[in-house]
Structure 1
Amino acid sequence: MHFQHVNWGDQYTGRIRSNAKAQVNDHIFVEGRLGHEMDFKDSSKDSGLVPNSTGVSMDRLHAVWMPTDKFSVDLGRTGVELDQSGVFWDEDAIFDGVVVSAGSEKAGVSAGYGRFKSVEFLDAQYKDQASREAWFGRGYATVGALDVSAFYVGYLQNHNTDAAKNFLAQPEVKADKKADVWGFGASVDLGHNLKLDGDYVQTLYKMSYNGKKLLNNPTMWTLGLTYGEVDTDMPGSYSFGIRYVDADYASNMLGATGLDLEDQLHYSYEEGTGVSFWAARAAVAVQKNVELAAYYNFGAKSDVKGKANPKNSWGMELNYTF
């Protein structure tokens, strides 16, 4: 259950997920997850299947082959990890395709081919899902208390909606016909229950109008510090943290953020401005299988002179696992 006070109003929402896993044999399992989102404030979003539901969907349905514990092939609707913090890409977002992974806890690589379905920006750039195929590669390593990783996502087709083609056809416009993205990050265990993590992500896309640069490989970076960790099997366990995010205009256009509140990033894209802001979060296991969390995004600044700064936003949620 969620309550959020964001720039476009208050939201009262909920989500129910049902997971199922079937072990086919010693090396293959199939997993599915059915979920539906509920909006308790706006009943016009009723899906017809669940009262006040904004939609019912199968957001996981995949088969995994693991001949050894150091190699796997994941096929279907699954999730992938890109950055360390999840500020750019949420592991819970949807990737449709195939992912091959090899490695151990110390080091490894993964590569995949398919569609990053949760990227909303691409809906205006590609006419259908079949047009937005991409590949990605990611590597990681652990050295002592330090974890490092890097990734690259490359799109295969050019933007192909009529609107995108007409925009590129204007003589005043000079722009790339598609965008890719890469990034690297690190996290370090500082001891005493403290963890520091950060990411740098750059979208490879340039655009100018009448000789004025509007986009020049926009970047996003973040740095966060967290104390503690919530374990819902241990009532009373808790965590709290603070994060700083600095995002150029359109630096998140190929992302699907895992931040609890994303309206500052939406504001950036909709208003054509870069933003920087702080995000604080605290959570506690109030009893077994129950987590209570609260979060607050504040101090947001626009990097365009004269442009209004995004407002503060906050929210809280209660999660029950059964």
Structure 2
Amino acid sequence: MKKVLAIAAVAALTAGVSAYAANPFSDVTPNDWAYQAVEDLSEQGVVEGYPDGTFKGERNITRYEMAQIIARMLAKEDQLNAEQRATLDKLAGEYADELANLGVRVSNLEKKVGNIYWSGDARMRYQNNATGDDSWNGRMRINVKGQVNDSTYVQGRLNATMDFKESEDDSDVQKESEDDSDVQFDQLFANHDFGSVATVRLGRQPVAFGDQGGWLYGDTFGADAAQVTFHAGQKVDLTAGYGRFNTSDYDEGVEDQDAFYARGAADLNVAKLGVDYIKFTGDKEADTVAGYELMGANLTIPVQDFRVFGEYWKNTTYENGNDTAWNAGIGYGKLNLKKPGSFAIDVAYNDVDEGVYFGGTGLQTDALKYLTKHDATNVTFWNAMADVTLQKNVFLHGEYAFDVSADNADMNDKDAWTVSLNYKF
């Protein structure tokens, strides 16, 4: 304890603490929210605490002692889940002065102005398409998050895309005019947390299904929807929503159709399980998704650095027989944007019928457009993808769709590939 106080005293004398800052030696009691938050993280095995590896949860500590505990958690932030990182960000904001005096930089706080947080990403991508012209395009997205109070925030995103090469098939860059660039506000939603029990979102928000980044639907334009998620501890989430999906490769019949959707996901450590349900409103009509009912299930099994995964979907209301979709694959490694040289590779076999796919895949190769643009009733293909961190927050992404086979298509089946350089900030 004497050693901790000595270090804190030297830091206070050399850093020039403002007279209006909180006293670094004032007590943080077990009744304070920060103390309770750290205690909760300690119970989850996150907190290293004192040199003996414990958190003394039964007595008062100083703000500098608390800052030291937070600093140790910041050092392994990449190992935390989303909820733990959110708690850590809040703690770091509360003890920003003490962390600064200890020489700890908090990058998340440096992006904060008042109650506004900024982040974004940029991408330069070349696509060798199977169903259209090759494309070369760029994209920049700016996220802004306004923290209204401890339980509520509002988030939006500005999306700017540019086509560097004239193309007859420019849907991949999400253009709505004949210009070679487009700027739009593509996300805006309010998020309210009811403690750790439930989360409600209203507005245009990201929506994805399955555990593969949205294999059949995972476009980040998501849906204009009202959505509620119930949290059963750290391992189980149940989500239900109602609204309209915002992206589809079909020219009509999807974006103007209301739908109810539900998802369930459970992390059992030895496996991740998920189920999905989508029900489009209205009576069944030809050439539309009205009345469609789709059910899906997914499974991912981690085996050390490997993972085996698969997904299955069925349209229970489609009458023409082509009503299922499935894939199965294997992956290795894990991408970490803070660790140059880290990488992840995956390869999967895909078999998709027209009765299941309604546009909006998270894949960046375009083999599934044989269904939406060229009247195929089934398409099968292998898809390989790889990501590697080149520098901190800079990574290279590549995908290759091969052995593509589409029935009833009006053009020869072709392989497709894409490569992109991506930046996070």
The alignment's TM-score, normalised by the length of structure 1, stands at 0.83
**Contact 2:274–2:297 at 8 Å: present in 1 too?**
yes
What letter corresponds to residue 312 of structure 2 in structure 1? Y
Alignment counterpart, residue 262 of structure 2, candidates 137, 145, 157: 137
Alignment counterpart, residue 181 of structure 1, candidates 291, 294, 300: 294
Q: Distance in 1 between matches of 2:336 and 2:191?
A: 27
1:37-72 deviation line (CA, Å, top 9, x unaligned): 1110129989799x831x222221001000212310
Alignment counterpart, residue 58 of structure 1, candidates 176, 179, 185: 185
Q: Distance in 2 between matches of 1:81 and 1:283?
A: 20
Select the structure with the greater relative contact order (CA < 8 A; seq sep ≥ 6). Answer: 1
Unaligned 5+ segments in structure 1 are 169-174, 208-214
Q: Distance in 2 between matches of 1:107 and 1:177?
A: 31
- Higher strand residue share: 1
Q: Distance in 2 between matches of 1:120 and 1:313?
A: 17
Question: Does the residue aligned with 2:368 lie in a helix, a strand or coil?
Answer: helix
Question: Does the residue aligned with 2:370 lie in a helix, a strand or coil?
Answer: helix
**Contact 2:209–2:217 at 8 Å: present in 1 too?**
yes
CA gap 1:115/1:28 in 2 versus in 1, 3 angstroms = same
Alignment counterpart, residue 197 of structure 1, candidates 290, 309, 324: 309
Alignment of 1:28 with 2:133, yes or no, is: no
The CA deviation at 1:226 is 1.2
1:1-322 counterparts in 2 under 5 A?
1-7=124-130, 8-42=132-166, 52-53=180-181, 55-85=182-212, 86-90=214-218, 92-103=220-231, 104-121=233-250, 123-125=251-253, 129=256, 132-158=257-283, 178-191=291-304, 193-207=305-319, 215-216=320-321, 218-253=323-358, 255-262=359-366, 264-269=367-372, 270-303=374-407, 310-322=413-425
1:77-113 deviation line (CA, Å, top 9, x unaligned): 1012321222111152421111100113321211011
Flag as ranges the 4+ runs of structure 1 deviating above 6 A.
43-49
CA gap 1:83/1:176 in 2 versus in 1, 3 angstroms = closer
Once superposed, what is the RMSD of the aligned Cα atoms? 2.8
CA gap 1:91/1:314 in 2 versus in 1, 3 angstroms = closer
**Contact 1:202–1:217 at 8 Å: present in 2 too?**
no
Q: Distance in 1 between matches of 2:239 and 2:290?
A: 27
Pairs aligned (count) = 294
Q: Distance in 1 between matches of 2:246 and 2:280?
A: 13
The alignment's TM-score, normalised by the length of structure 2, stands at 0.64
Q: Residue 210 of structure 1 aligns with which residue?
A: none
1:109-136 deviation line (CA, Å, top 9, x unaligned): 1101111121343x5237x73xx11111
Task: Look at both structures and tell me which one has the larger radius of gyration over its CA atoms.
Answer: 2
CA gap 1:299/1:227 in 2 versus in 1, 3 angstroms = same
Q: Distance in 2 between matches of 1:196 and 1:220?
A: 18
Question: Does the residue aligned with 1:87 lie in a helix, a strand or coil?
Answer: coil
Q: Distance in 1 between matches of 2:207 and 2:133?
A: 31
